[in-house]
Amino acid sequence: MSWVLLAALVVPFVTAAVTLFTGHRSDVAAKGISVGGSALGLLLAWVVALAHLGDAPPLAHVFTSTRTVGPPIELAVYVGPLGAAMLILATTVAFLVQVYSLGYLADDPRYPSYAALVSIFTGAMSVVVSADDLWLLLVGWELMGACSYFLIAHHWELEDARAGAVKAFLITRTADLGLLFAIFVLGDRFGTYRLSTILRVITEVAVPRDGLWLPALLLAVAVIGKSAQVPFHTWLPDAMPGPTPISALIHAATMVAAGVFLVARTYPLFLSSPSTLTFLALVAAVTMFLAAVYAMVTHDLKRVLAWSTVSQLAYMFGGLAAGAWSAAVLHLLAHGAFKALLFLAAGSVVHAIGGATSMDVMGGLRDKVPDTFVTMTIGFAALAGVVPLVGFFSKDAIMHAAWEEALHGRLVWPWVAWLLVVSMVATAALTVAYSLRAWLLVFFGEGPEVVHDSPATMRVPLVVLAVPTALGGLAVTVPGIIGGAPGEHLVHWSTSVLMTLLVVATAALVLVLYRRRGRAMWGPVVVPHPPIDWVWDRFLVRPVRWLAVLVRAGDRDVIDAYADGAAASARGIGGLLRRTQTGSVQGYLMVVVVGATAIAVAAGLLA
Amino acid sequence: MPLWWPLLVASLLFAIGVYGVLSRRNAVLVLMGVELMLNAVNINFVAFDAQLHDVLHAGQTFALFTIVIAAAEVGLALAIVLLVFRTHGHIEVDELRELADRDDPAELSAPQAASEGVA
């Protein structure tokens, strides 16, 4: 089984290489190879993952390890229920994205490199979710950052795309330093880089409360950056100029999900450090509300979805901080399904009206792109938490856990827990509002003529994703599938009823506003943006530039000056000697004669 | 005849030769200076040979050697002078500075090209 997993990890990279080498010769070959390789990877991943869901013993295997001084670096894999579920999510969404891209990027000249990067992205995410060695995990982690940079900059002729890609890369890369240093600290503390060993030691040996706050905090910084939480949240909405399927991939199954996955994977470490969980809860509480407010007021469909991703990820972190591991992981999987659906549907809408992403030019599309309308409705409903859909169950489970934590929890500080609960409730209402607003603006009212309905390759993935979005809620009845504690109940009637009432009330309010004011439901509200980018620019970017200037000056004016000075002085002294080489033979002879005479005279005098 | 008479003549001759080699610009005159120096040496050989009553007359023999070598030397040297004249159009010794160590290699070829133009 471990070799199947290794094959599942290698196949995407091989696919990418083959796609790159053959893709520019034949369009059909590029598409066939990338989709076929993706399907093969999907198959292998499912074979591995299905065997390790639920109570099955986890797959742990060390292929090889280094023999050096210090803790060995191992090519070690570990697939437990969580890893298996993530493997399924990542490869499935990646496969659907590949299929979808056949239609979406049908005429794109850069399709081969795009498909290859999607393959690498998938492979990197598979490495992250199945790695047991921290360095292996870091490799996948960084590879995703690099791939997201390239994919966001797919349309590199656009200024926005380039700037967004650089921003995404720099911000996530800065935060990734946390992961690197966490690895150093953990390796130093435990004498091994095997994640399963470290977690077992933490679980079995009673670590003093907050004894491991430093690695936990460093990991928290890394995942906050990767998952675009405050104060690293600004890169995600700016990453929107990338192709829409890429947004689906980044937002649903891979990049940002990796952050939540890492916290879930190393959860015993976080549980041993409540102060880090408090920090995480605070970040989540601020992020979810802020992002939801931005999603309310933005006019760009993709940016609405981007902000909602930030907000929903904050839900997951909030759930993890409140101790609701199963609920948070379930929400991660559910969000992976419905956000992929929403982004792909948004891509379908954008494709249908000819490329504009602003909701101002959309409207009335419900009977022009009927398949997209139905599936996107399901997606928005799941995002808003409407009753039978998957988002409802997972969100309610998280909210109930936060409520319990606030009442009589001991993980996070009480006031932070209360802040988290308040923020979650407010954000749930806002989520309903912005989902409904986007839905109304896109599908109702007067709108443009449809250029072309989406091809089948784009509609089928939507339908496929709509299935888990609609029926995924059944999973809450068996939390054991993803490795949650046995006997854990994720459905709570009191919270569910309250939340449903909240959803209905908010929806009614929005509908009344829509009836009364039309498309400008709450007008052009300008939400003051916290000067995060300004702070980064002033305190990180500029100091780094100053340091760079300083280093350059030191290199050029000090170090180089010594080297140049040595050369120049040798040259100067040599120049003096060169004066004698006049080329005048008689001059030379004169020196010889005078010298010989002088020696003769001296010899005569001395003798 | 006291020894210092021929030695004085030889010294004067050698000094004139050195002066000629060092100060003449014409290559042929420089060669004549060299000849003068060689002949000053010959006078010394012969003078000491007579003074020391050498039975084998080694001094006179060496003088003959020197004359032969001088003839060969001047033959070779005149051939060089001839070639210099053909390539440069002159035989001014102080103009022949191609072997000087200069910064700019172009400076080396420039005078040569100019003189070829003259030739």
**DSSP letters of A319-356?**
HHHTT-HHHHHHHHHHHHHHHHHHHHHHHHHHHHHTS-
pLDDT above 80 (res A58): yes
How far apart CA A457 and CA A98 sit, in angstroms, is 9
Please tell me whether residue A395 adopts helix, strand or coil conformation: helix
With CB atoms and an 8 Å threshold, state whether B22 touches A590: yes
Decide which of A578 and B9 is more confident.
Answer: B9
pLDDT for the residue A72: 86
Contacts of A465 (CB under 8 A, 6+ apart): A93, A96, A337, A338, A340, A341, A344, A375, A379
Q: How confident is the model at residue A481 (pLDDT cuts 50, 70, 90)?
A: low
With CB atoms and an 8 Å threshold, state whether B100 touches A583: yes
For the segment A182-198, the average pLDDT, to the nearest whole number, is 88
Write down the ipTM of this complex.
0.77
**Interchain contact A586–B (C-beta under 8 A):** yes
| Token pair for B48 | 């000491």
pLDDT for the residue A188: 87
**Interchain contact A576–B (C-beta under 8 A):** no
Cβ atoms A472, A378 nearer than 8 A: no
Nearest-by-CA chain B residue for A578: B101
Distance from CA of B29 to the nearest CA of A (A): 13
With CB atoms and an 8 Å threshold, state whether B21 touches A589: yes
pLDDT for the residue B18: 92
With CB atoms and an 8 Å threshold, state whether A584 touches B21: no
Which chain A positions have a beta carbon within 8 Å of B101's beta carbon?
578, 581, 583
Backbone angles phi, psi at A300, to 5 degrees: -95, 125
**Interchain contact A583–B (C-beta under 8 A):** yes
**Interchain contact A548–B (C-beta under 8 A):** no
The size of chain A, in residues, is 607
**Interchain contact A571–B (C-beta under 8 A):** no
pLDDT for the residue A566: 92
For the segment B5-30, the average pLDDT, to the nearest whole number, is 93
With CB atoms and an 8 Å threshold, state whether A578 touches B21: no
pLDDT above 50 (res A487): yes
Which H/E stretch holds residue A59? strand A59-65
Could you say which of B18, B30, B97 has the minimum Cβ distance to residue A583? Answer: B97
With CB atoms and an 8 Å threshold, state whether A586 touches B93: yes
pLDDT for the residue B64: 95
With CB atoms and an 8 Å threshold, state whether A584 touches B94: yes
**Interchain contact A578–B (C-beta under 8 A):** yes
Least confident range from A176-180, A296-300, A562-566: namely A296-300
pLDDT above 70 (res B111): no
pLDDT above 80 (res B107): no
pLDDT for the residue A460: 85
Distance from CA of B98 to the nearest CA of A (A): 6
Q: How confident is the model at residue A127 (pLDDT cuts 50, 70, 90)?
A: very high
With CB atoms and an 8 Å threshold, state whether B93 touches A585: yes
How far apart CA A390 and CA A385 sit, in angstroms, is 8
pLDDT for the residue A353: 81
Cβ atoms A323, A405 nearer than 8 A: yes
Strands A59-65 and A74-79: antiparallel
Other beta carbons within 10 angstroms of residue A417's beta carbon come to: 26
* Matching residue, tokens 């200069």: B102
Other beta carbons within 10 angstroms of residue A89's beta carbon come to: 27
Could you say which of A581, A585, A590 has the minimum Cβ distance to residue B101? Answer: A581
pTM above 0.80, yes or no: no
10 Å CB burial of residue A312 (0-12, 13-18, 19+) is buried
How far apart CA A469 and CA A417 sit, in angstroms, is 29
**Interchain contact A597–B (C-beta under 8 A):** no
pLDDT for the residue B116: 47
Q: Which among A366, A327, A339, A328 is positioned nearest to A468, based on CA atoms?
A: A339
Which chain A positions have a beta carbon within 8 Å of B23's beta carbon?
586
pLDDT for the residue A490: 72
Contacts of A516 (CB under 8 A, 6+ apart): none
pLDDT for the residue A581: 80
* Matching residue, tokens 């921290």: A134
Largest pairwise CA distance in chain A: 127
Which chain B positions have a beta carbon within 8 Å of A594's beta carbon?
none
pLDDT above 80 (res A453): no
Could you say which of B94, B98, B99 has the minimum Cβ distance to residue A586? Answer: B94
Distance from CA of A111 to the nearest CA of B (A): 56
